[in-house]
Amino acid sequence: MVEQIQAANAAGLSYSVEVALWTANIGDELHAKLVNAGLLRQRQRRTLGVFIADYIGERTDWKARTLATFGTSKKLMLDFFGGNTPMDKITADNAVAFRLGLEKKYSEATISKIIKHCRQVFNLARRRKLIADSPFETVKTGSQKNPARRYFVTMSEYQRLLAGCTNAKQRLVIALARIGGLRCPSELCGLRWSEIDWVGKWFWVHSTKTEHHEGKGKRQVPLFPELEHRFQELYETLPEGCDDFVFPEESDIPPIISPKKSLTSWIHKVAKRAGVALWMKPFQNCRSSRDTELRKRHPAHLVNRWIGHTQQVAEDHYIQDLPCDFIDAYNAEKKGGNSAGESDGVGCFGVEVGKKIPAVFPPGTPTISRACNEMPYNSRTPKELPISRGGT
């Protein structure tokens, strides 16, 4: 072992797993002799609490939301393992017991995120040679998908939430979540009046969540008629010379829009006033509902750009299967005239085309347009479009 340690030190290489385990498990007396001989470094018995605190301090690149999420995992680790426990005293069996404890309280998706945070911490400790191996190496993370929490927010529920709002600002926040599909509150913070193209019918959305990916720091989102109306409604309440930010953080008009402040308690108050039984993950499900809805009308590649995620992320976490899909599929085929023995000739793909028969919906059938209550909008033309404020 000593010869292998000498060879690795001379070559500037990491120790093999066998050597790393041996050096981690030898007694303090032998370890001290090897340190005195210049072969090993002094043992650093850093505790879990100190190591995690130092790690968080190093991550100056983390956003407020990431810090909050990791903070939850940190608390769970310290409560279970103990903040004063040396890193090298936490075993694989301890890690398995930790996960089993989580299963009694959290969903599979939440457990997956927590275990990934644990791996993050202990893999770093291994790379820094504080431990021989990560106790979480073989602990399964699980899937972060949780279809059970998905909920399709109908346009009727959207309208009722609007009725529970007390000002134009609140109505715009709800509209941007359900009609714009924005992440709330993070993507509300960067909206600017000067970045709304009233003629081209689109506006810029700045995304802190995706800005670390090249070219993904901001995206163009259609200025849907309902959004246009809500933007105009808020703008007409503002004084001359107002801030270019649509939602300035220092505003006295509730709610406060800040990346550090959740809007969950606020939307619960709105729902209570409106008499709406609020669903799980209120803002994420508004975004999910809009993603699902748009895919009924527009190509997937455009929807992915507007909503701001990849097709894979959409399939894993956003797209919903609706009961009305089966009826819509049936009526679409019937409208296309694909009944056996009835043909109008051959289509462009060389497939026989049946006679076109008007779609028939049984009374009360929940078609996608009925289920979503096709979005309303105000068609009035403003006296003056707000394109002069904000310097452009």
- Both tokens assigned to 113: 């995120």
The verdict on 165 and 238 lying in the same domain is yes
Does the residue 384 lie in any domain? Answer: no
Residue 274 falls inside a structural domain: yes
Are residues 297 and 187 part of one domain?
yes
246 neighbors 253 (Cβ within 8 angstroms):
no
pLDDT of residue 215: 76
Q: What is the total count of domains within the chain?
A: 4
User: Model confidence over 308-365: pLDDT tens digits?
Assistant: 988 888 888 788 888 788 888 888 888 876 544 444 443 333 333 444 434 444 455 4
Question: What is the average pLDDT score of the chain?
Answer: 84
Higher pLDDT, 327 or 230: 230
Whether residue 219 is found in the same domain as residue 130: no
Do residues 155 and 375 lie in contact, with contact meaning Cβ atoms separated by under 8 Å? yes
How far apart, in whole angstroms, are the C-alpha atoms of residue 214 and residue 41? Answer: 41
pLDDT value for 93: 95
Same structural domain for residues 140 and 156? no
Output the domain CATH number for residue 297. Answer: 1.10.443.10
**pLDDT value for 364:** 52
Give tens-digit pLDDT for 283-297: 999 999 999 999 989
Domain annotation covers residue 383: no
Q: Are residues 296 and 184 in the same domain?
A: yes
Same domain, residue pair 178 and 258? yes
Same domain, yes or no: 161 and 256: yes
- The answer to whether residue 390 sits within a structural domain is no
Q: Are residues 19 and 90 in the same domain?
A: no
Examine residue 192 and state whether it is found in any structural domain, yes or no.
yes
Tracing tokens 């100056």 back to the chain, one arrives at: 60
Same domain for 157 and 136:
no
Indicate whether 221 belongs to any domain: yes
202 and 285 both lie in a single domain = yes
Instruction: Answer for the pair 220, 165: CB distance below 8 angstroms, yes or no.
Output: no
Domain boundary among 299, 317, 335: 317
Q: Tell me if 118 is assigned to some domain.
A: yes
pLDDT band at 375 (very low <50, low <70, confident <90, very high): very low
- Does 124 reside within a domain? yes
Q: Comparing C-alpha atoms, which of 195, 173, 196 is closest to residue 186?
A: 173
Residues 286 and 176 in one domain: yes
The fraction of the chain above a pLDDT of 70, given in percent, is 85
Query: Is 20 in contact with 132 (CB distance < 8 Å)?
Result: yes
183 token code pair? 């992440």
136 and 122 co-located in one domain: yes
End position of a domain, from candidates 104, 127, 144: 144
Containing structural domain, residue 54:
48-144
| Cα 384 to Cα 392: distance, rounded to the nearest angstrom | 15
Which amino acid, one-letter code, is at 64?
A: A
